[in-house]
Amino acid sequence: MYKQLFLAYLCLISVLNSHVLCAQVAIEPYIGYSIDLNNKDKLSLFNAGLQVPVINKPFYQMLVMAEGGFPLDSGTGESTAYTPNPLLPLTAKVESRTKLNARTFGLLHRWKPVEWGSGNSLSVFIKLAFTNQHIKVVYKEFNEVNYTIFNPRSTLNYSGLIGGGGIQFNRVLGAGTFFAQLNAAYPLLEPREKNYHFKLIVPLSINTGYAINLTKKKTNEKQ
């Protein structure tokens, strides 16, 4: 399964490489906010990413994208610790904090079916990417000598494919284009190790950025 998906991804990369010389040179940095829709813990991320078109046609673009997600809110949880020592209370509550990190790299396909006014447009896109999701659990200090946590909240680490899509508003602004996008992504593979407390994250993201046309900038500089 993994090998087949990897080979399919290599085919996409080969298509990308065959067109990259024809692409207009541009970069699209962006920042944003993500919330996880798949876990009870309130996990959120600050996003910072970059999109680079490698096929750039009037109504279709293929882009390479890279994004890092950095934790904002730390989820909290509570576990029960037990002791066989009859001189101590049988149970004790132990608090934990949860932090989420995510890294994503892949391809994005974008179409621009709607344009209106002066420099306004609406795009739709889909993406296929490799991602690493890391949900880290840290317990507060407790009496580990006498107490043991049964079935503790364990850290989740996932590396695999995600697929998703969204919509994007674009407006020509100055020498570039301002954009705002709403998108969601879902893991396409199950983690190899079962985690009974956390599910793979399903991020819903709101991002804003500015597309900079480097080719046009260079042309202007020569003039």
Q: Provide the whole-model pTM.
A: 0.76
pLDDT at 111: 95
Give SS3 for 188: coil
Task: Map out the domains of the chain with their CATH numbers.
Answer: 2-73+101-134+162-222 (2.40.160.20)
pLDDT at 12: 53
Q: How far apart are CA 222 and CA 215, in angstroms?
A: 11
The pLDDT profile of the chain, 223 residues, written as one tens digit per residue, is 444 445 455 555 545 555 444 445 789 999 999 999 988 878 899 999 999 999 888 899 999 999 999 988 767 777 888 988 888 889 888 888 888 899 999 999 999 988 888 889 999 999 999 999 998 888 888 888 888 888 787 888 888 899 999 999 999 998 899 999 999 999 888 777 777 788 888 999 999 999 998 875 444 444 3
> What's the alpha-carbon Rg for the chain, to the nearest Å?
22
Residues 6+ apart with CB under 8 A from 122: 112, 113, 114, 115, 167, 168, 169, 170
C-beta separation of 113 from 77 below 8 A: no
Give the helix/strand (H/E) hosting 41: none
Q: Could you tell me the two tokens for 29?
A: 């940095």
Please give the backbone phi and psi of residue 215, each rounded to the nearest 5 degrees, phi first. -65, -45
pLDDT at 121: 93
Q: Which of 138, 139, 135 is nearest to 187 (CA)?
A: 135
Residue 132's CB is within 10 A of a number of other CB atoms, namely: 14
Q: Could you tell me the two tokens for 100?
A: 């989420």
Give SS3 for 145: coil
Q: What percent of the chain has pLDDT over 70?
A: 85
pLDDT at 183: 95
Give the helix/strand (H/E) hosting 59: none
Residue 123, CA atoms < 13 Å, CB-side half-sphere: 25
